[in-house]
Amino acid sequence: MNRIIWVLFLGLLASGMTQFATAGSTGTIHFYGAIVDGGCTFDTGSKQVTSNCERGSKSVKQVHAVDPQNPQAFNLPLSLGTVTTQSVNNDPHLAVMTVTYN
C-alpha cells in the first residue's frame, strides 16, 4: 500500500513540475508564404467515395468502393496522400474516414 501511495505522490510531483517548466515558454512563430494548392473534395454515397483532387493544372477524379465490414485504405490521386476507413462499433452504417495529406 505504501508503494502505491509513493508512486502516486511522485506522479503528482512530476506533473506539477512539467506545468511550471512549460508555463514560462514563450515565443513567436512566423509563417511566410501562401497555400497555393487546396485539398481534395470528397462525395460519399451508395457505398462509394468519389475524390476529386487538384494539383497545379491537373484535376483527377477517382471512385472507390467502401465496405464498412472490410475497411481498406486507398491512395489519393497525384500521390497527395491516403484515405483510411474504420467502422464505428461494428455498425454497417457508420464509419470514420481519415484523410492524410503528404
C-alpha cell recorded at residue 67 = 465496405
Residue 3: predicted pLDDT: 61
The Cα–Cα gap between 14 and 19 comes to: 9
Q: Please say if the pLDDT value at position 10 is more than 80.
A: no
Q: What is the mean pLDDT of the chain?
A: 75
For residue range 83-92, what is the model confidence (pLDDT) as tens digits? 888 878 878 7
Render pLDDT for 29-63 as a digit per residue (tens, 0 to 9). Answer: 777 777 666 778 888 887 788 888 887 778 889 88
Cβ-based neighbours of 85, under 8 Å, separated by 6 or more: 66, 68, 71, 72, 73, 95, 96, 97, 98
